[in-house]
Each structure stands twice: as C-alpha cells, then as structure tokens.
Structure 1
Amino acid sequence: MRALSRRAETALSYGFALLLGAALVLLTFPADFLLPQAGSPWAPQGDAAQHAIAQRYFLGDAWRWPPLAVRNLIPPEGLNIAFADGIPLLALPLKAMRGVLPEGFHGIGLWYGIAWLLQPVAAVWCLRGTGERRVLPAIAVALAASAMPAFINRYGHAALTGHFTLLVALGLYLRLVRASSAARWAVAVGAAVATLLVHPYLGAMVLALLGAVPATLLLRRDRRWIGAAVGVAVAAGAVGGTMAAFGYLGAAGDGGYGDFALNLLSPVWPHRSWILGALAAREIDATGHGGWEGYNWLGAGLLAGILAVAVLAPRQAVQALRRHAGLVLVLFGLTLLAVSFRVGAGERIVLDLGEAPGFLQQFRASGRFFWPVGLALLVGTVALLARLPRFGTAAVLLLALLQFADAAPNRAAIRDWAQARHAWTVDAPALRALLAEADRLTLLPTWPCVAKPDTLGDHARQLQVLSLAAERPVPANTMYVARWRGERPRCTDAATLATPLAPGELRLILPGARDQALATMPGATALCVPVGELLACRLGR
C-alpha cells in the first residue's frame, strides 16, 4: 500500500508540474509564435529574428560537417548556427524532420514552449533529489520555479530560457553526492553535452554544478570523490570533444567581460515585482550598459522564504551548508564570476580590479552566472522549510503563492512581447516576390559595415530582409553573429559594390549604402529600382 502511495505522490507531483507548465505556455505564447510558417504578416524583432534566421537557413541547407555548418549564409566560410544562438539541440532533430515541416518553419518559438513546460517539471525532479518527495512541497517548488524572475525575463533570447537544464544539473548533483553510479554519470555526461548544444553559457554552468560533486565529497573526506572527479573529467572531455567536432572552438566575440555584470543589489532589487515594484522603476546598473543581463531579482516569495529559514531553522540551514560545502564553494565562485572585476553596488562601481584575463572575455554577459545560485537557493529553501513540523508544508505553499503573484508583471511583459505584432519596416510583399526569383542575395551594407550608432536603422532592416530571405532560404552574403572565428569580420562593401551584378543575383541596398552604391556600382542607375527605402538591383529587370 505504501508503494502505491509513493507512486501516486510521484504521479501527482509531476502531473501538476506538467499541467502548470502547459497552462503557462498556452496563456503566454500564441500558436503562430510557437509554430511559425513562411509568409508572416508581422516582422520578427531583435535577437529573436537573428536566431530564427539562423535556424531557417540551417534547416534549408544540406547536411554537412561539422554538423552545425550552414554554407548558404556568409559564403565562402559559412556560418555555424551556434554562433547565432540557433539552439543546435533542437535544430538538429528539426532538420531530420524537415520533410514534414511547414515551409519556413523554425523552432525558436517552439523552444520557449519547451522551456516553459519543463521548468516546473525539472524543479520537482530537483527537489526530489533532496529527499523531499511529498506532493505539496512539489507543487510549491513547481509554482515558484516557474515564477523565477531571471527565468521569465529572458524573452528575446530563446536559448537562454533553458533554465530547466540548470535544475537538472542541480538534481544530478544531489543524487550523485548521495549515491553515484556509472549509469548516473552517463546521464550527467549526456546532460552536459545536451546543455552545451542549447547554449555555451548554460553548458559552462552545468559543468560547474557537476564539479561540485567531487568537491563536496572531498570536503566530507569521502573517498568516492576520486571516482566523481573522473566523472567530471569525462563530462568535461565530452563537452570539449563535442565543441571540437561541432565547430565551436576558435570562436571569439566582442569581449567586454563585466559590461553586463551582476550588480550587488540585483538579487534584492525589486524591478517588475508586483509587491515591491514601485520601489524600482528600472533595472539597477553601475556599468553604463543597462542592467538587463544582470537582472536577478530573487522574488518576494523566495526572499521571504530565505528569511523564514534564517529565523525558524538556522541550525538546519548551517548543517545543510556544511553537508554541501562543495556546492556552496561552486555557487560562491559563480557569484564572483557574475559580479566580475568591476564590482557595482547600486549605480556606482565600488571596486575595480582592472582588466580581466583574456579567457574571461568570452563571458561578456557575466551576470548570467548567478542563475544557478538563485535556483539552488529556491530548492534549498523549499526543502528546509517543508521539513519544519506542523506548518512546514503550509509555509512552502505560501512562499510559492507569494513568488507566483510577485512575478505577475514579468509574466505580463513576456506575454505582451510574444503577442506583439510589429509591422515590417521594409516592403515585405515586394521583397518576397523579388527573392522568389533570385538565386542569391547580396545585402549592403553588410553587418560589419553598419556604422554605430545606427541612426538609419540598417541593422533592423538587415534582420528583416534576412528574415524574408530565410523563408526559402535564399543564399545571402551577410549575417549578424554573436561569435566568429579569427579576427572580427571586416567591412569589404566597397569591393562588393565595385563588382558588376551577376546573373541571378539580387542586390539590395539599404539606406546606409545608397549614396555609395549610386556613385560606385556599375550600372546602378539602369539596374536599380526603389523598393520602399531600399534599392533593388538585378540584371534583366
């Protein structure tokens, strides 16, 4: 009878989490956002457009080696979709299924649905790793995890909504510390590789959390730390091997470690809090780059829960910290990494340690590294409060309801973003007709040539034109990328403009290159016609 009861508790716990996740997906994201097709009457925006373009080109290209290579973008080198945040973990199976997908489909919207569905499920799984398997605490952690502000606030960057991967890694840590096995380490290795293929930032965080296993065992003087260290080494080797095979290695970005760091006040700065939001009208920022990447408000429910643990269960909290000392050290290290070498408190830099080592420059948005800390605080707080006699379960349910209510403004913001229907700023019907007849697209200015500040809006126009071209997709000469190999791409538009048009080429000139094109491009006056603010140039028009 007891075994049946445990099975029922498990089913109810995961069942609630699944229903919660599904309900949030349906209430937040429209169907045409989750399952897009070609011919959309509205224009994608910002980074979300970049990610969708990369996936569409990848799905429309032949299979290549390395597996993430796209040859019909930025020839002759091509593009690795990981450098445009194309979510390879989803893009690879979608490419295998492309024969049954609608024309122009991409999985960026779908990934939001997957992440929001799995966030509460992964939280339940993680909590059960602490030994807490009752239904009411599971309901509480599912509600609270789905309402973590740093998770909700990732709209515009689909891959980074995958916070469920961090909850999976925390759950693996809890299970591996208790009883490791080859099978569990195999799962951990697979989870690390899979998370890398979601986003490298998340992959680095997962490896750090797995590294806490041997650290904790070593500090407990448990000889199993040697085997755990081997397991972490295998996981790191598998991630490194995947990076080498899939073309990640040798990538560089703009640098700027610390530009988008964690402000010391961010965890308690209640921007977009339903309860305390009136105290913080915007993100806190000391670097001059805005506080969005460092946004880590923990939520009113979690902060109240932490305070309750400190008052009602201080001894148990200290014991838990000692028992998981390796995890504490890893989380402290991630916090330091998030804070960066330029430590901001409020609107001031209170400590500047100078230039960071070169390898840290890859982590420009260092504030993200606090995400595992917030999730660990949530799971630990729920586990400790739930064990209090008499009112423990009531306390965690109250915590969860408070957290969920407090996140209402964040949920409204992402819902409004997902349901926004921005008009095209280019003539989409005319460009679709031109692209349907083109063998390749030359878009000018190219991404490296768009001057900053971009007063003409050519970067946004680029993304819109490429979004239209990606619906087929038409081979294109440029793309906005987050990473690249070797030196930063240089501006070579002058040489391109001096080259005569080729048969089948559609050359689209954005406002920023119009004067130069009319002055230097052979046959520009005869071969180019206005299409809204653009010039469309081709032979035989």
Structure 2
Amino acid sequence: MQSVLNYWKKHNVWILGALVGNITFICIFGVHVLNVTYTDWLLGGGDITQNYLGWCFFRNSDWFFPLGLMDNASYPNPVSVIFTDSVPLFAVLFKMLRAVLPGEFQYFGIWSMLCMGAQGAFGALLIFHYVKKKAEAVVGSLLFVITPIMLGQMSLNMALGAQWLILLSLYLGIYRLEITKKKYMISWGIVGLLAGSIQLYFVPMCGFILLSFLLADVIQRRKYTRDLWAFLSYIGTAVGTVALLGGFSHKHLPDISLLGQSSFNLNGLLNPQGWSQVLTSLPVYGVNSSEGLAFPGTGILLTLAVGTVAWLLHLIYRIFVKRDKESLQIQWSWEENGVAYLVLVVISVLVAVSPKAAYGSDLIWNLDLPNWLYSLWQRIGSCGRFIWPVVYLVILGSVVWMEKKMPWETMAAVLLVIFGILQIYDGKWQLMQRQVQFGTDFIYESRLEDEKWEEWAEEDDLKHMVFVSYMLDDEELMYSLSIYAAQNNMTVNYFNYSCQTIRSLAAEHLQEEMNNVQADTLYIYKAAEEDKCFNPKMEYVEVDGVIVGKVK
C-alpha cells in the first residue's frame, strides 16, 4: 500500500493531467466510440472513413515484407498502410491478432482517447516544470487538450491526434541535461519509432524540436555530444520504422496543388477560423487554409493578456510607488531553453509559411527557390501543420507567464479554471458539432441498395473491383463501393490514399486491365459514361447510379 501511495505522490501530476484529457474526450466524443465493434461512426465520409477503410483493407491483405504493405487497396500494386493514415502502429499490432478479432472491429475510439489522455499528461508535466505547482499544472493541462488544432485534427484525421508527440519532444528537450546520455538517446529513439509508425508529419516536426535543442547547445557553447547521439538515434529509428512499414517501397510524386494552399497564414495566431464566437474570423488565402490553423484559443489569449497586465501593474508600482529607478532598465536573460525555443519558432514558421507567404487573403511573397528546395516543400504538402510546435509554446508560455506574475499564490489556478471554461464556452459550437458527429448513434446507409450487390457478394469467384471511371470526385460513391469491397474481401484498383505515385500507377495499369478483362472482376463505370461500355466480352447492368460490367 505504501508503494502505491509513493508512486501516486511522485506521479500524480501527469496522472491527473491524463485524467483531465480522458474526461474531456468523454464529454466531447462520448463513450460509444470506445466500443470496438461499433464501426458505423467511421463510415460517414471524410478522412476518418479513409482511415478506417485503410485498416479494413490492411487487415484483409496477406502479409508482405515490408510489414506495412497491402495489395488489395491498389491491386495489383502494393501500397503502405502509412498512406491511409490508419495509425500503422495499431494497424500492424491488431493485424497480428486478426484471427481472434470480431468481424467488425475498430481501434480508432481507443486511440483517440489515449491521445487526449497523453496530451493532458504531457501538458501538465510541461507546466509543472516551470511553475512547480500541481494545481496550476493540472488545471492548465486542459488548455492543451481543448486547443483548436488538437480537436480540429482529431475529428478529421485520427492519426494527427498524436500531437502529444510534440509535447513529449519538448519535455525531453527540457530535461536533456538532467538524464544520462544513454537514457536520452534511447528516449529519442522511442520517439522516432512512434513518429514513424503513427503519422509521417510528426517525423520532421519532432526532429525540428530535437534539432532546436541541439543548435541551442551549440550556440550557448554547451556540451552537445548527447544531442548528436540522440539525433542519430531519432533519425535511425524513424527512418528504419518507415522503411519497415513500406514507406520507401515506391517513389513519391509531390502534390503540387497543396503548396501555398495549406500554409500558415501570418494572421494565424489571431485568426479563429470559426473557433470563436467573440473574435471574428479573418480573411485567409488558399482553398485548404484550415491546415494552417494556429489559433490557440480565447482562453489562452486571455491568459497572456492578464499576465501582461499583471506585469505592467507591478512595473508601475515599482516605478511610481517604490521609486525603484532600476525598474526602468530593460533586462533580458535567456532562461533555461529560451534559445532553443527561439530556434524552434524560426524553423517552424519558415517551414509552415512556405515559399508562398500570405497575410489574410493577400499573397505577400512568392519566393523563387532552387528546384530541389521547391520540390521539397511540395513533398511536405500541408506545411501549415508545422506551426503546431509554436502554438504549443504560446500555450505553455502564456500559462507560465501569468502564473509568475500573479501576486497571490492560488490566483493563477482560479484564473486558469475560469479561462478554460471561457474557452470551452467560446468554442461551444465547434464542440457541439463534434458531440453530434461522434456522440450520437450513427447508422451507416450504403448507396448500394440494389439486390444485385448481394448476388455478386455471394459469388465466390468474384475477387476484384476495378474503377474504370474516375471516382475520387464523388467521395460518397467511392466510399460506398470501397466499403462493399472491403466487407466482401474484394480488392480495388485504387483508393483515396495520400500517395500520388500509386494513383499514377493505377491509372497506367487500367488500360492493360481493360485490354484483358477477367471473369473474377467487377468493372465500375459512372452512369454518365455509358459510351465506355462497349467491350463485346462483357455484359453491363446499371444499378444505383453506376454501370457494372462483368465478363459474360
């Protein structure tokens, strides 16, 4: 019993922070999504349907090496589960257990709750490092959990909910001088493994955090060998994990359409983009500007403002009441990790802004860069996401700044509770949308209602589905057909994954496929493309808005 009490006393900050995250998850997303056999909530369309179907195809696929490859979502070309954002770490783990899993199985509810818990835990630990007060740390963790960039991504792309990796990386950097070189290197190796096996965007993002602490130690002339070993450990495990999951199994064509369309807008930190009832959303640039969302929340802005007002009042008191002339002298010192934070802000902003920088709806510069550097930014795609470390530094700095400037010990904790409640209230419409989306029972209804689909499903010799028409412009139809294929253990020739190369290979292979039609395949055409249905070896039937071709 004493050992349990000792453990609680030593670790209660992060445990309570995790509890804050988990309670917040239940309040917003409900408990129904934690039922691993309840899958309908994942079939309403959007990226979460892509995430779930990626798992379904991966589960049905044979094992390959590298382990993350599957061939039934891009038949006959292999593609990695990395590119369906299906949380490869969990996908591989549960595929190993597929023999004992129920027919309908999803892990995304559990995954999301774990992410919210870890977000609260590491948020509390970061705050506690600076304020050394448990109440402020636990209460302040709520502001990390309910930040718009976290909740916004959690409801769109489940893998991107692992933003606790950013907080973990900051935590490791802060404590780098207090742990042994071996432990530091192993810790960063684990971060590399996690980042590489969860979502590729976290690999460079966490790497930039580690690089910032390394450069800070070089600039401040500290010993940096531990940073170098940690960097090598991180890169080695991250690259090795991505390779093991099949991330390098094919070339990668950059998506040139995203550059400048999904970047960080220079008004981003003050632009709520629909996450505030009080503040008006500001103009944005680009068709995918939500990827550059950087609004930390009204509660955080209030925290920063109150801390600043308290500092000014204290300064005025010292100057005009105490007659302390030294208060007029501006003093600046780089406490602890100030240099690392500055380096991280510079790197993150430069990458997030991209060569096409915008303020509001205006493009203010379009840099003419070398082709190799321009191509690198194109491969990054949604570069606006790289502003996330800056947002979390703003949250951490605001909470710590206010706590340090409060004249009474418990005042900061009380204000953090108030500001947390205000942030929840100010963003209530966004939160209510997610409660409706995830907290209510959803029953999936397929667009494929004709009895012919059941007849084809009962034919044991049908194993493949080929989309002859381009289907990605009709997401609902695309997903209905893909769900049908996954449920009946059939392959599809392409799917809505993020790898442009596989889509190109599927288009190249289509002509060969149509020149040699097979009896074990259903060929799918849009109803408006009847002119393509001319092969004398096939019979065609129109059902549910599509034309299905089948060898006679």
Q: TM-score range by the shorter chain?
A: 0.7 to 0.9
AA aligned to 1:353 is L
One of 271, 281, 285 as aligned partner of 2:273: 271
Tell which deviates more after alignment, 41-50 or 74-83.
41-50
What is the root-mean-square deviation of aligned Cα atoms in Å?
Answer: 3.1
Q: 1:309 offset after TM fit, Å?
A: 3.7
Per the alignment, residue 328 of structure 1 pairs with 342
Q: 1:338 offset after TM fit, Å?
A: 0.8
- SS state at 1:221 partner: coil
Identity %: 16
Question: Once the two structures are superposed, what CA deviation does each residue of 1:388-412 show, in whole Å capped at 9, x if it has no partner?
Answer: 4413333434443333333323222
Tell which deviates more after alignment, 232-241 or 365-374.
232-241
Instruction: Measure, in 2, the Cα distance between the counterparts of 1:219 and 1:94.
Output: 45
The answer as to whether partners of 1:70 and 1:79 remain within 8 angstroms in 2 is yes
One of 409, 432, 435 as aligned partner of 1:412: 432
Q: 1:122 offset after TM fit, Å?
A: 2.4
Q: 1:318 offset after TM fit, Å?
A: 5.2
Task: Check 1:317–1:69 CA distance in 2 against 1; reply closer, same or farther (3 A cut).
Answer: farther
Instruction: Measure, in 1, the Cα distance between the counterparts of 2:32 and 2:466.
Output: 28
Instruction: Measure, in 1, the Cα distance between the counterparts of 2:311 and 2:452.
Output: 66
Q: 1:486 offset after TM fit, Å?
A: 7.9
Question: Once the two structures are superposed, what CA deviation does each residue of 1:298-326 show, in whole Å capped at 9, x if it has no partner?
Answer: 11111122233444458999545674202
Per the alignment, residue 260 of structure 1 pairs with 262
AA aligned to 2:546 is L
Instruction: Measure, in 1, the Cα distance between the counterparts of 2:42 and 2:367.
Output: 46
**Mapped pair 1:440 → 2:463:** yes
Q: 1:65 offset after TM fit, Å?
A: 0.5
Instruction: Measure, in 1, the Cα distance between the counterparts of 2:459 and 2:476.
Output: 24
Instruction: Measure, in 2, the Cα distance between the counterparts of 1:239 and 1:336.
Output: 23
**Unaligned runs of at least 5 residues, structure 2:** 313-326
Per the alignment, residue 295 of structure 2 pairs with 297
- SS state at 1:271 partner: coil
The answer as to whether partners of 2:464 and 2:492 remain within 8 angstroms in 1 is yes
Task: Check 1:114–1:511 CA distance in 2 against 1; reply closer, same or farther (3 A cut).
Answer: farther
Per the alignment, residue 529 of structure 1 pairs with 541
AA aligned to 2:105 is F
Per the alignment, residue 25 of structure 2 pairs with 25
Q: TM-score, normalised by structure 1?
A: 0.86
Instruction: Measure, in 1, the Cα distance between the counterparts of 2:419 and 2:39.
Output: 45
Task: Check 1:158–1:77 CA distance in 2 against 1; reply closer, same or farther (3 A cut).
Answer: same
- SS state at 1:262 partner: coil
**Mapped pair 1:138 → 2:137:** yes
How many residue pairs match? The answer is: 520
Residue correspondence of structure 1 range 92-171 to structure 2 within 5 A = 92-128=92-128, 130-154=129-153, 155-171=155-171
Task: Check 1:180–1:433 CA distance in 2 against 1; reply closer, same or farther (3 A cut).
Answer: farther
Instruction: Measure, in 1, the Cα distance between the counterparts of 2:331 and 2:65.
Output: 50
Task: Check 1:317–1:170 CA distance in 2 against 1; reply closer, same or farther (3 A cut).
Answer: farther
- SS state at 1:53 partner: helix
The answer as to whether partners of 1:386 and 1:395 remain within 8 angstroms in 2 is no
AA aligned to 1:111 is W
Instruction: Measure, in 2, the Cα distance between the counterparts of 1:268 and 1:380.
Output: 16
Per the alignment, residue 353 of structure 1 pairs with 367
Per the alignment, residue 367 of structure 1 pairs with 384
Task: Check 1:434–1:20 CA distance in 2 against 1; reply closer, same or farther (3 A cut).
Answer: farther
Question: Once the two structures are superposed, what CA deviation does each residue of 1:206-239 show, in whole Å capped at 9, x if it has no partner?
Answer: 111112222222233212x122122112211222
Task: Check 1:123–1:181 CA distance in 2 against 1; reply closer, same or farther (3 A cut).
Answer: same
The answer as to whether partners of 1:261 and 1:294 remain within 8 angstroms in 2 is yes
The answer as to whether partners of 2:118 and 2:164 remain within 8 angstroms in 1 is yes
Task: Check 1:495–1:92 CA distance in 2 against 1; reply closer, same or farther (3 A cut).
Answer: closer
Question: Once the two structures are superposed, what CA deviation does each residue of 1:247-298 show, in whole Å capped at 9, x if it has no partner?
Answer: 2233334134222011111210123344414x22xx74223x1421112211
The answer as to whether partners of 1:73 and 1:476 remain within 8 angstroms in 2 is yes
Instruction: Measure, in 2, the Cα distance between the counterparts of 1:6 and 1:38.
Output: 39
Q: TM-score, normalised by structure 2?
A: 0.85
Per the alignment, residue 496 of structure 1 pairs with 513
The answer as to whether partners of 1:87 and 1:159 remain within 8 angstroms in 2 is yes
Question: Once the two structures are superposed, what CA deviation does each residue of 1:435-473 show, in whole Å capped at 9, x if it has no partner?
Answer: 343531223236xx448xx4xx2x431222112221243
Task: Check 1:298–1:131 CA distance in 2 against 1; reply closer, same or farther (3 A cut).
Answer: closer
AA aligned to 2:265 is N
AA aligned to 1:350 is I
Q: 1:191 offset after TM fit, Å?
A: 1.2
Instruction: Measure, in 2, the Cα distance between the counterparts of 1:34 and 1:432.
Output: 30
Instruction: Measure, in 1, the Cα distance between the counterparts of 2:270 and 2:466.
Output: 45
Question: Once the two structures are superposed, what CA deviation does each residue of 1:145-200 show, in whole Å capped at 9, x if it has no partner?
Answer: 11101111112211111111111111111111444531132012111221121111
The answer as to whether partners of 1:343 and 1:351 remain within 8 angstroms in 2 is yes
Instruction: Measure, in 2, the Cα distance between the counterparts of 1:72 and 1:135.
Output: 51
Tell which deviates more after alignment, 43-52 or 205-214.
43-52
Tell which deviates more after alignment, 241-250 or 36-45.
36-45
Q: 1:433 offset after TM fit, Å?
A: 5.1
Tell which deviates more after alignment, 58-67 or 301-310.
301-310
Task: Check 1:38–1:493 CA distance in 2 against 1; reply closer, same or farther (3 A cut).
Answer: farther
Question: Once the two structures are superposed, what CA deviation does each residue of 1:374-393 show, in whole Å capped at 9, x if it has no partner?
Answer: 11221232233323441333
**Unaligned runs of at least 5 residues, structure 1:** none
Q: 1:88 offset after TM fit, Å?
A: 0.6
The answer as to whether partners of 1:137 and 1:397 remain within 8 angstroms in 2 is no
Instruction: Measure, in 1, the Cα distance between the counterparts of 2:38 and 2:480.
Output: 13
The answer as to whether partners of 1:37 and 1:102 remain within 8 angstroms in 2 is yes
The answer as to whether partners of 1:56 and 1:473 remain within 8 angstroms in 2 is no
Per the alignment, residue 306 of structure 2 pairs with 308
**Mapped pair 1:505 → 2:521:** yes
Instruction: Measure, in 2, the Cα distance between the counterparts of 1:151 and 1:338.
Output: 17
Q: 1:334 offset after TM fit, Å?
A: 0.5
- SS state at 2:176 partner: helix
**Mapped pair 1:478 → 2:476:** no
